[in-house]
Amino acid sequence: MKGIYSVLVENRAGVLAEIARLFARRNFNIESLAVGETDRHDTSSMTIVSSGDQRTLDQIEKHLNKRIDVIKVRRLEERDALSLEMMLIKVAYSVSTRSQIMEICSIMGASILHLSPRHMVIELHAAHEKIESFIDLVRPFGILEVQRTGTISMSRK
Amino acid sequence: MNGAQAMIQCLDQENIHTIFGYPGVAIAPFYEALYGSDVRHVLVRQEQNAGHAASGFARISGRPAVCVTTSGPGALNLITAVATAYADSIPLIAVTGQVARRLIGRDVFQEADVIGAMEPFTKYRYMVRRADDIPRVMKEAFYIASTGRKGPVLIDLPIDVQQEELTQPFHYPEDVSIRGYKPHIKGNGQQLRRVLQALKAAEKPLLCAGGGVISSGAQDLVRSFCEKHGIPAVTTMMGIGAFPSAHPLYYGMIGNNGRSYANKAMSESDLLIIAGARVADRAMPNTRRLEETAKVIHIDIDTAEIGKNIGPTIPLVGDLRDVFQRLLDQELQLDTSTWREALAGWKDAAVDHRVHSPRLVDPNTLVQKLTARMDPDAVYCADVGQNQMWSAINYEMKEGRFLTTGGMGTMGYAVPCALGARMAAPDRQTVAVCGDGAFQMSFNELATAQAEGVPMKVVVMRNHYLGLVKEYQDKNYGGHHSGVTLGDGPDFGKIACAYGMSYYEVSENQALDRILDRFLQDPGSALLVCQVDDVNNTK
């Protein structure tokens, strides 16, 4: 099972490390973790995606809540969550492959941020699965570098 | 007023008059502020023991106790004691010196990332970056340590923050407001009703009291609850003391080294109420089976304990005092007489499979005779090893306290714990009981007791082995005694003499009564060595 946690934390030194260590120490899995400030400077928001059986996912929520620097934990149901990930991907091209790649970008809603004589940098923000498919689609052309933010999520409610 | 002076002011505000510590350069401004203050500083002989002594002090005073060390090695030596207090849920305030702010992260002399190192073993940690923050940090630290599930809080104090002048007049806050920390005190009403429903339907209810019953001060309420409804009880090692040994509803300690009938009661009950226990493997090795055979009600103040090691049928988060007060108000009309008869039958029929050597002193008899003679409200500090098992099983609880580290199992705990406990209650009889392995880990603190004029009573069960590991090797490694032999030395009589203690030694059961009387009646510090045959085992 997948668990998506939207976690409000104190924006303080060491809090990210503390949360990461909690997962490591208790053998909880981290599939992705994204963190940034909210509209308040003293508060950060994290989206943590994990997986495990029901008991593990419950324990993750409880142990997050137990941290004193954690202000609030929301467990998001996959169907209720709007989830998005951003990726920058550098792909090699030649004259013969350029238009194919551009076609994939256009179908997938990705945009080309930068074009060099031999490679291009593409930006895509989409759901996790779509990002995965995009990577598969451009893999044959030669991927030079990938940077992903990890998933951020918000409840529709 | 500088930061260090503000620290002393805060201790005064928190009514802390005794602290345990070991100085160094990075904490020197604090010690300068301590000089001439009303706070009594107890200089221990190794930093770890400052933590253990504070633990003993906290457990007897019922309030957080303070230990102080310098940066780097001083703080690192303290970690084991802090981790012990964390595992045993003891409220401590650990103050460590740190290098100056501008030097942090440069690997300078005696710098260590103590916040990082202690993160897994503390309830919360502060790196104080401004002297003005000290009153708030101290107020919060005491609040966090002593509320909810109690535990140690670390305050790391850079030397230049200790020296920095406060820019505002000292003001100790009256209230605490921490966004992410609101302990659940009141049990949920709906869950409470489910507990009552389950109780009404139960034929073989059993209560298992953990250390939380004692740290929340709910012993009387839990006992009254069991008495009112005729519910038999067992305890974990940390729960020893929740019931007097002679209580008709009490069936002893559970677990690997517990009573067979207490464990049978667990596996045969149809409704198990676990109160303030973390359900660790030594106490309850087979939780999967328990989940199948009984309805499990798990009551704990720490939400994260629920479902960690056992999947309860009914979880109930709250302070045990609140929960049991409300359970006590209910009328249930349970008839548990058949169940209690069965339990009494198992208790009578229990067979002792342990080896009891006819040679030297029987450790079980020793603990029975010792605790029978101790004052009703005496404090018994048990160390770790075979001696701990013999102590736990045979300790006769009246109105006293049984202090041990059931959670972390840190050898060398008893002597410094007894020192702290005795200082928290100078008129209360306090006895430390160790094996000869553990005793040699911390008997240096007898010097602290001597210097502070604190009379210490220490019993050493001497079998010249690290007995519990030896026993394990006997069972699992064909009797290969690898690394467990302590040898013949040292001469403990000379150790007693060196620390200004009376010395007693006993090597036969017949002499126990006489020697124990003399040992306990000795007006000063005394060491009693009991020669024990190494073939005696714990299960």
pTM: 0.94
Cα–Cα separations (whole angstroms), residue A105 to A85, A90, A131: 16, 13, 11
Least confident span in A124-128, B81-85, B265-269, B291-295: B291-295
Assign B299 to helix, strand or coil: strand
Helix (H) or strand (E) holding B287, with range, is helix B287-293
> Helices B363-373 and B386-394: crossing angle, nearest 10°?
50
DSSP 8-state class, residue A67 = S
pLDDT 10s digits, B136-178: 999 999 999 999 999 999 999 999 999 999 999 999 999 999 9
* Token pair listed for B88: 């045993």
pLDDT of the residue at B281: 86
Q: What is the ipTM of this complex?
A: 0.87
Last residue of a domain, one of B349, B373, B403: B349
DSSP 8-state class, residue A118 = S
Q: Determine the residue of chain B that is closest to A55 in CA distance.
A: B307
Burial of B163 (0-12, 13-18, 19+ CB in 10 A): middle
Query: Do B185 and B322 form a contact (C-beta atoms < 8 A)?
Result: yes
How distant is the Cα of A41 from the closest Cα of chain B, in angstroms?
Answer: 15
**Domain presence at residue B181:** no
Contacts of B230 (CB under 8 A, 6+ apart): B249, B334, B335, B336, B337, B340
Whole-number Å distance between alpha carbons of B198 and B196: 5
**Domain presence at residue B356:** no
Q: Compute the average pLDDT of residues B462-486.
A: 97
Residues of chain A numbered 60-89 and touching chain B (CB < 8 Å): 62-63, 65-72
How distant is the Cα of A77 from the closest Cα of chain B, in angstroms?
Answer: 21
Arithmetic mean of pLDDT over chain A: 95
- B345 pLDDT above the threshold of 90: yes
Q: Compute the average pLDDT of residues B110-115.
A: 97
Query: Do B71 and B103 form a contact (C-beta atoms < 8 A)?
Result: no
pLDDT of the residue at B280: 87
A25 touches B at CB < 8 Å: yes
Same domain, B373 and B316: no
Strand bridging mode A152-155 / A81-92: antiparallel
* Token pair listed for B465: 């082995």
Query: Do B224 and B354 form a contact (C-beta atoms < 8 A)?
Result: no
Q: Do you find a cis peptide bond into B64, omega within 30 degrees of 0?
A: no
Rounded to 5 degrees, φ, ψ at A3 are -125, 125
Beta bridge partner(s), residue B297: B273, B314
Q: Compute the average pLDDT of residues B491-509.
A: 97
How distant is the Cα of A99 from the closest Cα of chain B, in angstroms?
Answer: 51
Q: Determine the residue of chain B that is closest to A9 in CA distance.
A: B180
pLDDT of the residue at B313: 87
Task: Sort out which chain B residues have CB atoms less than 8 A from A54's CB and list them.
Answer: none
Task: Sort out which chain A residues have CB atoms less than 8 A from B179's CB and list them.
Answer: 10, 71
Same domain, B129 and B251: no
pLDDT of the residue at B293: 86
Same domain, A92 and A65: no
Last residue of a domain, one of B146, B163, B180: B163
A119 touches B at CB < 8 Å: no
Same domain, A67 and A87: no
**Domain presence at residue B88:** yes
pLDDT of the residue at A134: 97
Nearest CB to A70: which of B180, B306, B308?
B180
A21 touches B at CB < 8 Å: yes
Is B180 in Cβ contact with A9 (below 8 Å)? yes
Domain harbouring B22, CATH code:
3.40.50.970
Last residue of a domain, one of A76, A92, A121: A76
Is A21 in Cβ contact with B180 (below 8 Å)? no
Whole-number Å distance between alpha carbons of B367 and A81: 61
Same domain, A40 and A103: no
Question: What are the start-end ranges of the H helices in B233-319?
Answer: 260-268, 287-293
Q: Compute the average pLDDT of residues A130-138.
A: 96
pLDDT of the residue at B44: 98
Number of domains forming the structure of chain A = 2
Is A69 in Cβ contact with B311 (below 8 Å)? no
Query: Angle at the Cα of B195 (from B194 to B196), degrees rounded to 5?
Result: 90
Task: Provide the domain limits for residue A135.
Answer: 82-155
* pLDDT band at residue B489 under the 50/70/90 scheme: confident
pLDDT 10s digits, B265-308: 999 999 999 999 988 888 888 888 888 888 999 999 999 998 88
Same domain, A66 and A111: no
Same domain, A120 and A147: yes
Same domain, A115 and A147: yes
Domain harbouring A87, CATH code:
3.30.70.1150
Q: Whose structure tokens read 């098992």?
A: B389
Last residue of a domain, one of A29, A58, A76: A76
Whole-number Å distance between alpha carbons of A43 and B358: 68
A118 touches B at CB < 8 Å: no
Strand runs (DSSP E) across B421-508, as ranges? 430-435, 457-462, 502-506
* pLDDT band at residue B99 under the 50/70/90 scheme: very high
Whole-number Å distance between alpha carbons of A30 and B176: 33
CA-wise closest residue to B156 among B99, B80, B85, B108: B99
B306 touches A at CB < 8 Å: yes
Nearest CB to B144: which of A21, A55, A68?
A68
Query: Do B462 and B436 form a contact (C-beta atoms < 8 A)?
Result: yes
Is A13 in Cβ contact with B127 (below 8 Å)? yes
Same domain, B506 and B395: yes
Query: Do B419 and B446 form a contact (C-beta atoms < 8 A)?
Result: no
pLDDT 10s digits, A66-110: 999 999 999 998 888 999 999 999 999 999 999 999 999 999 999
Task: Provide the domain limits for residue B508.
Answer: 363-531
Torsion angle (degrees, nearest 10) of CA A137, A143, A148, A154? -10
Same domain, A87 and A108: yes
pLDDT 10s digits, B358-375: 999 999 999 999 999 999
Same domain, B205 and B344: yes
Nearest CB to A10: which of B120, B180, B311?
B180
Whole-number Å distance between alpha carbons of B47 and B375: 31
CA-wise closest residue to B506 among B536, B528, B490: B528
Whole-number Å distance between alpha carbons of A109 and B47: 62
* Token pair listed for B136: 């708030």
Domain harbouring B339, CATH code:
3.40.50.1220
**Domain presence at residue B50:** yes
Same domain, A88 and A135: yes
Q: What is the DSSP string of B371-419?
A: HHHS-TT-EEEE-SSHHHHHHHHH---SS-EEE--TTT--TT-HHHHHH
Assign B352 to helix, strand or coil: coil
- B242 pLDDT above the threshold of 90: yes
Number of domains forming the structure of chain B = 3
Cα–Cα separations (whole angstroms), residue B269 to B245, B291, B339, B384: 21, 11, 9, 30
Is A17 in Cβ contact with B180 (below 8 Å)? no
**Domain presence at residue B485:** yes
Same domain, B74 and B118: yes
Same domain, B517 and B370: yes
Beta bridge partner(s), residue B516: none
pLDDT of the residue at B333: 86
Assign A138 to helix, strand or coil: helix
The amino acid occupying position B185 is I
Last residue of a domain, one of A24, A48, A76: A76
